[in-house]
Amino acid sequence: MPPLTAERASSLHHAITSATDPATEPGADPGAEVLRLTNVTKSFPGVRALDEVCFDLRRGEVHAVCGENGAGKSTLMKIISGQYQPDGGTIRYKGADTRFANSLEAERAGIAIIHQELNLIPHLSVAENIYLAREPKRGWFVDRAALRRNAQACLDRLGVDIRPDASVKSLSVAQCQMVEIAKALSLNAEILIMDEPTSSLTESETALLFQVIHELKREGVGIVYISHRLDEMAAIVDRVTVLRDGRYVSTHDFAATTVDEIVAHMVGRSLEEKFPERTSTPTADVLLSASGLTRKGVFHDVGFELRRGEILGFAGLMGAGRTEVARAIFGADPLDAGTIRLGERAITVRSPRDAIDHGIAYLSEDRKSHGLAVKMSVVQNLTLASMDSVSNRFGFIDFAAEAKAAKTYIDLLSIRTPSPHQIAKLLSGGNQQKIVIGKWLFRQSRILFFDEPTRGIDVGAKFAIYQLLDRLAAQGIGVVLISSELPEILGLTDRVAVFHEGRITAVLNTRDASQEEIMHYASGHSRPHASGAATP
Amino acid sequence: MSDLSTTTKSVPQSAREPGEPKARMMNDKKKDLIQKFAALASLLLLVAVFAMTSDAFLTVNNGMTIALQVTSIAYLGIGATCVIITGGIDLSVGSVLALAGVVAALAVKAGVPVPLGMVLGVLVGAFCGLLNGLCVTRLKLPPFIATLGMMLVARGIALQITGARAVSGLGESFGELGNGALFRIVTIGDDGFPNVVFPGIPYPVILMVVAAIGVAVMLSRTTLGRHIYAVGSNAEAARLSGVNVARVTLITYILSGSLAGLTGCVLMSRLVTAQPNEGVMYELDAIASAVIGGTSLIGGVGTISGTAIGAFVIGILRNGLNMNGVSAFTQQIIIGLVILLTVWIDQMRNRR
DSSP string, A367-428: IIIII--TTSBHHHHHHGGGGGGGB-TTSBB-HHHHHHHHHHHHHHTT---S-TTSBGGGS-
Smallest CA–CA distance from B237 into chain A, residue? A370
Smallest CA–CA distance from A375 into chain B, residue? B233
Check residue A33 and give left, alpha or beta (phi > 0: left; psi -120 to 50: alpha): beta
Between chains, do B12 and A71 touch, taking CB under 8 Å as contact? no
| CB-CB neighbors (< 8 A) of B224 in chain A | 395
Give the integer Cα–Cα distance in Å for A318 and A269.
Answer: 34
Backbone angles phi, psi at A483, to 5 degrees: -150, 145
Between chains, do A70 and B10 touch, taking CB under 8 Å as contact? no
Give the integer Cα–Cα distance in Å for A427 and B225.
Answer: 24
To the nearest whole percent, how much of chain B has pLDDT over 70?
88
Give the integer Cα–Cα distance in Å for B300 and B118.
Answer: 33
Q: At how many degrees (to 10) do helices A173-186 and A203-218 cross?
A: 10
Q: What is the pLDDT of residue A345?
A: 92
In degrees, rounded to 5, the angle at the alpha carbon of residue A80 between the alpha carbons of residues A78 and A86 is 75
At a CB cut-off of 8 Å and minimum separation 6, what does B210 contact? none
Does the structure show a pLDDT above 60 at A478? Answer: yes
3-state secondary structure of A474: helix
Contact B50, B57 (CB under 8 A): yes
Provide the CA A466 distance to its chain's centre, in angstroms: 17
CB pairs under 8 A between A and B: 193
Q: What is the pLDDT of residue A269?
A: 57
Query: Residue A370 is nearest to which of B236, B242, B244, comparing CB atoms?
Result: B236
Q: What is the pLDDT of residue B127?
A: 98
Q: What is the pLDDT of residue A528?
A: 47
Q: Which residue, among B22, B228, B239, B241, would best test binding to A if mutated, counting the most A CBs under 10 Å from its CB?
A: B241
In degrees, rounded to 5, the angle at the alpha carbon of residue A120 between the alpha carbons of residues A117 and A125 is 155
Greater model confidence, B33 or B222: B222
Tell me which CATH code domain B57-351 carries: 1.10.3470
Smallest CA–CA distance from A374 into chain B, residue? B233
Query: Residue B18 is nearest to which of A47, A268, A467, comparing CB atoms?
Result: A47
Does the structure show a pLDDT above 80 at A413? Answer: yes
Same CATH topology for A6-267 and A273-359+446-531? yes
- Maximum Cα–Cα distance across chain B: 88
pTM: 0.76
Q: What is the pLDDT of residue B29?
A: 55
Cβ neighbour number for residue A374 with a 10 Å cutoff:
19
Q: Which residue, among B13, B26, B234, would best test binding to A if mutated, counting the most A CBs under 10 Å from its CB?
A: B234
Give the integer Cα–Cα distance in Å for A325 and A316.
Answer: 12
Between chains, do A246 and B18 touch, taking CB under 8 Å as contact? yes
State the average pLDDT for chain B.
Answer: 87
| CB-CB neighbors (< 8 A) of A461 in chain B | 14-15
| CB-CB neighbors (< 8 A) of A426 in chain B | 20, 24-25
Does the structure show a pLDDT above 90 at A474? Answer: yes
Q: How many CA atoms lie within 13 A of B208 on its CB side?
A: 28
Give the integer Cα–Cα distance in Å for B299 and B83.
Answer: 9
Does the structure show a pLDDT above 50 at B320? Answer: yes
| CB-CB neighbors (< 8 A) of B247 in chain A | none
What average pLDDT score do residues A220-241 get? Answer: 89
Bridge pairing between strands B181-182 and B201-202 = antiparallel
Give the integer Cα–Cα distance in Å for B66 and B312.
Answer: 8
Q: What is the pLDDT of residues A98-119, one digit of tens each?
A: 889 888 889 888 999 887 767 8
State the average pLDDT for chain A.
Answer: 84
> Structural domain boundaries of chain B?
57-351
Sign of the C-alpha dihedral, residues A483, A484, A489, A492? negative
At a CB cut-off of 8 Å and minimum separation 6, what does A258 contact? none
What DSSP string runs through B308-336?
A: HHHHHHHHHHHHHHHHTT--HHHHHHHHH
What average pLDDT score do residues B176-198 get? Answer: 81
Query: Residue B240 is nearest to which of A332, A461, A471, comparing CB atoms?
Result: A332
- Which fold, A6-267? Rossmann fold (3.40.50)
Å from B2 to nearest chain A CA? 9
Between chains, do B15 and A68 touch, taking CB under 8 Å as contact? yes
Q: What is the pLDDT of residues B220-231, one digit of tens each?
A: 999 999 999 999
Check residue A319 and give left, alpha or beta (phi > 0: left; psi -120 to 50: alpha): left
Does the structure show a pLDDT above 90 at B197? Answer: no
What average pLDDT score do residues A440-454 get? Answer: 91
- Whose CA is closest to B178, among B62, B69, B92, B277? B69
| CB-CB neighbors (< 8 A) of B248 in chain A | none
Q: What is the pLDDT of residue A531?
A: 41
Q: What is the pLDDT of residue B212?
A: 97
Alpha helices in B138-199 (DSSP H): 143-162, 176-179
Most confident of A65-69, A184-188, A374-378, A455-459: A374-378
Greater model confidence, B126 or A104: B126
- Give the range among A47-51, A126-130, A278-282 with minimum mean pLDDT: A47-51
Greater model confidence, A154 or A303: A303
> Structural domain boundaries of chain A?
6-267, 273-359+446-531, 376-445
Name the architecture of domain A273-359+446-531. 3-Layer(aba) Sandwich (3.40)
Greater model confidence, B122 or B33: B122
Smallest CA–CA distance from B302 into chain A, residue? A375
Give the integer Cα–Cα distance in Å for B10 and B12.
Answer: 6
Does the structure show a pLDDT above 90 at A138? Answer: no
Does the structure show a pLDDT above 90 at A341? Answer: yes
Q: What is the pLDDT of residue B349?
A: 65
Between chains, do A475 and B17 touch, taking CB under 8 Å as contact? no
The question of ipTM being above 0.85 is answered as no
Contact A111, A189 (CB under 8 A): yes
Give the integer Cα–Cα distance in Å for B80 and B292.
Answer: 12
What average pLDDT score do residues A361-377 get? Answer: 85
Strand partners, A508: A496
Contact A451, A321 (CB under 8 A): no
Q: CB pairs under 8 A, 24+ apart, for B9-12? A: B10/A467, B11/A414, B11/A463, B11/A464, B11/A467, B11/A468, B12/A267, B12/A271, B12/A460, B12/A463, B12/A464
Burial status of residue A256 (CB atoms within 10 A of its CB: 0-12, 13-18, 19 or more): exposed
Confidence of residue B149 (pLDDT cuts 50, 70, 90): very high
| CB-CB neighbors (< 8 A) of B230 in chain A | 373, 376, 380, 384
- Whose CA is closest to A477, among A445, A450, A440, A509? A445
Between chains, do B4 and A428 touch, taking CB under 8 Å as contact? no
Does the structure show a pLDDT above 50 at B297? Answer: yes
What average pLDDT score do residues A54-61 get? Answer: 93
| CB-CB neighbors (< 8 A) of B21 in chain A | 44-47, 49
Q: What is the pLDDT of residue A161?
A: 83
Strand partners, A64: A225, A240
Q: What is the pLDDT of residue B350?
A: 63
Give the integer Cα–Cα distance in Å for B315 and B318.
Answer: 5
Å from A441 to nearest chain B CA? 8
What average pLDDT score do residues B176-205 get? Answer: 83
Bridge pairing between strands A111-114 and A191-195 = parallel
What average pLDDT score do residues B102-125 get? Answer: 96
What average pLDDT score do residues A253-265 get? Answer: 86
